[in-house]
Structure 1
Amino acid sequence: MKKKLILDVDTGVDDAQAIMMALTDPKVEILGITCCHGNTTLENVLQNTLRVLKVCNRLDVPVFGGCAKPLLAPKKHAGHYHGEDGLGDAPDPDAPGLELLQKKNAVQAMIKIAIENPGEVTLVATAPLTNLAVAVQLDPSIPEKLKALYIMGGNTESRGNTTVCGEFNFAVDPEAAYIVLDRYTCPTYIASWEFSCKNSLPWSFCDQWLGQNTDKAAFMKQISRYSMTRAQSEDYQKETTDGQGFNSCDTYAMAAAIDDTFITESDEVAVTVELEGAHTRGMMVLDYMELLGKKHKAFVMKKVDLEKFKRMLMNSLK
């Protein structure tokens, strides 16, 4: 049986990389892609998702529009890194039109798909967790219907990339992250910011990856140019944790969802999100001392099979 996935995305460059990995894996069936604000505006996210599907010849995959803003926090985007449109501001005059989108709201679609496939669907969340938080408030039973949840977000060493102590996806909507980590009691796997930095790939691999003679590789090279120039800058290297290479943050969570053997070491620990700190709002908190009394624990990734990761990335652009 194929793995049934729902992808919840805010399609910037790394979401595009993750989506393409899932689309090209023969073991995967994508039941729907739900879109959320985040790297760019919701309208751009929807457009970007369709652009990725088009280059992969998979416009048959249903795409749903979801939450356009955080639950309580002010809007924040990542145009400084991904480009204002989320895909490096690379022109695309032949981009698919938004009329291809599904009419159903992303949150409603997420709930419906989970109900129709009880215990079979893995949810991969690479965006701020707003859609997931709204879904569990509308249907508190959704976590028990999921097979697993994979999240790219949060941090483990209080090292931020958006605020002093906050990773982007959690810092953009801390209340949503808090709700999801509190109420989604299905098996939960987290690829944190510092983890992804410590598992970055050599730039020489990136050149090989983008150098493949395919339409997909040409598309990825075009949309990645802006963010990769930023990532290779001296200022950015100072901001990151051991970030001396190519870091496709979202794709680690996707690879783990696709292949059960990808994660080679993880910590099983209860997690929550700080909501009130002057400097720590949005920071993920790991309860190693078990003072929170939470029964549900998440698997926080520490090490993965990077050779397998390289192969999956190479295949995604073939």
Structure 2
Amino acid sequence: MNHLILTPILLTLAVTSTSSLPRKLIIDTDGGADDAMAIIAGLNLPSDTKLMAITTSCGNVNATQAAINVLKVLRVLGRTEVPVHRGCQSYYMTSEDISSTWFGEDGLGDFEFDNPPTENDISSEHGVMTLLRLVKEYPGEISLVCLGPVTNIALAIKMDPSFLKNLHQIIVMGGSIKGMGNITPGTEFNFRRDPEAAKLLFEHSSKEHPVYLLPYETSQESKIDKHWRTSVFGELNSSLVSFINKAEHIALARTPRYWTAPDQLAMLVLIRAEFVRKIDHAMVYVCAEGTMSRGVTLVDRSSKSGNTRIVKKIDVDLFKKFLIEAFQSNRIDTLDNVDCSPCS
């Protein structure tokens, strides 16, 4: 097994390759409340990174509703200049149920949003064409963060086999590497929704152009006491927190003791790589056949030519500080003196 425990400096180099922060970013999302929180965290921190576009896929909701949800997030942030492109309205090769009600029927808490955006506010270019165009225009410069099923990415690869090679890096939230699962035994939501797309993605990744994978288990092992989420973070005097509280209220009511934040962690891997404490190099395959095996992630840790960098461990205390700083102001000054102690 190629197992790395990296210092913050080395880890930053490992994740971003040539710079501490990528210059250009695309977010691919299925538009849930967790995605909203990840987008806010990523955009509400100072950096020299430019968000080029946000593309949407099916997952929590259909791609149109996902785009409308993202437009709501951007309006709350005051970042309406960021183009939002609707991607695939169905999965890569299946016509299975395309939505989840974990975050409500609309994926964003079903609360009333004043003067909500409409389909007319969605950029006209298809999300897959946006991915292909921008990566072609800026070869080797774009970091792509995928927060939902990877349908758009699979289609982009199918249309242009050099797509992954021309990215700066790709970070994916998905998969179950220890058989935990949250849909069927051993399968995680994003990969189970579109296993053919996930399979194609990893078939085209390589040691030279790997996928940085934030699996389900890492988010579970980075869980946070629900009391901290509702009574520390949730009580911040911030319009952004108020928005997220409304967006997450249905899911929080269903959450017992611990709150998990997989999409937020995936964004963290990009913008705060020094918070990552452990990475495995491995060969990853995704099964698209069978019934129980559809979406199962197979991991070969003995491979010396692994196509994946699996994020295994996050510094949870720093993650909590990161969330507080990102949501309580429009600017990061320091991470000192922020209460992230465990709540009883």
TM-score normalised by length of structure 1: 0.91
**Across the two proteins, how many residue pairs are aligned to each other?**
304
Displacement of 1:165: 2.0
**Alpha-carbon distance in 2 for matches of 1:14, 1:52:** 11
The answer to whether the 8 Å contact 2:143/2:169 transfers is: yes
Residue 80 of structure 1 aligns to a residue in which SS? coil
CA displacement at 1:296 relative to structure 2: 4.1
User: Which residue of structure 1 lines up, in the alignment, with residue 162 of structure 2?
Assistant: 141
Report SS of the residue matched to 2:273: coil
Which consecutive residues of structure 1, in runs of 5 or more, have no partner in the other structure? 233-243
Give the corresponding residue for 2:31: 11
For the residue of structure 1 that corresponds to 2:224, the secondary structure is coil
Q: Residue type matched to 2:268 in 1? A: A
Q: Distance in 2 between matches of 1:165 and 1:77?
A: 20
1:227-253 Cα offsets, whole Å, 9 max, x none, are: 011122xxxxxxxxxxx5111111111
Unaligned runs of 5+ in 2: 1-18, 329-344
2:116 to 95, 109, 125: 95
Is 1:22 aligned to 2:53, yes or no?
Answer: no
Q: Distance in 1 between matches of 2:128 and 2:25?
A: 15
- Report the 3-state secondary structure (helix = DSSP H, G, I; strand = E; otherwise coil) of the residue aligned with 2:284: strand
The 8 Å contact of residues 143 and 183 in structure 1, kept in 2 or not, is answered as yes
Q: Are residues 1:152 and 2:152 paired?
A: no
Whether 1:231 aligns to 2:231 is: no
Contact 2:53–2:83 (Cα < 8 Å) also in 1: yes
8 Å contact kept, 1:73–1:174: no
Say which of 282, 286, 290 aligns to 1:277: 290
Q: What CA distance in whole angstroms lies between the structure 2 residues aligned with 1:142 and 1:80?
A: 33
Q: Which residue identity does 1:164 align to in structure 2?
A: P
The DSSP-based 3-state class of the residue aligned with 2:27 is strand
Q: Which residue of 1 aligns with 2:225?
A: 202
Name the amino acid aligned to 1:63: V
Return the match for 1:312 from 308, 313, 322: 322
Contact 1:24/1:315, CA 8 A, preserved across alignment? no
- Distance in 1 (CA, whole Å) between partners of 2:294 and 2:118 is 38
Aligned partner of 1:170 in structure 2 is: 191
Alpha-carbon distance, 1:204 to partner: 2.9
Q: How does 1:177-256 map to 2 (within 5 A)?
A: 177-185=198-206, 186-206=209-229, 207-232=231-256, 244-256=257-269
Is this contact kept in 2: 1:79–1:85, CA < 8 A? no
Deviates more, 1:112-121 or 1:217-226: 112-121
Match of 1:268 among 270, 276, 281: 281
Letter in 1 for 2:33: V
Q: Quote the residue 1:300 is aligned against.
A: 310
2:339 matched residue in structure 1 = none
User: Does structure 2 retain, via aligned residues, the 8 Å contact 1:10–1:35?
Assistant: yes
Q: CA deviation at 1:277?
A: 3.4
The whole-number CA distance in structure 2 between the counterparts of 1:84 and 1:41 is 11
Conservation of the 8 A alpha-carbon contact between 1:147 and 1:187 = no
Counterpart-to-counterpart distance in 1, 2:28 and 2:146 = 5
Equivalent position amino acid for 2:95 in 1: P
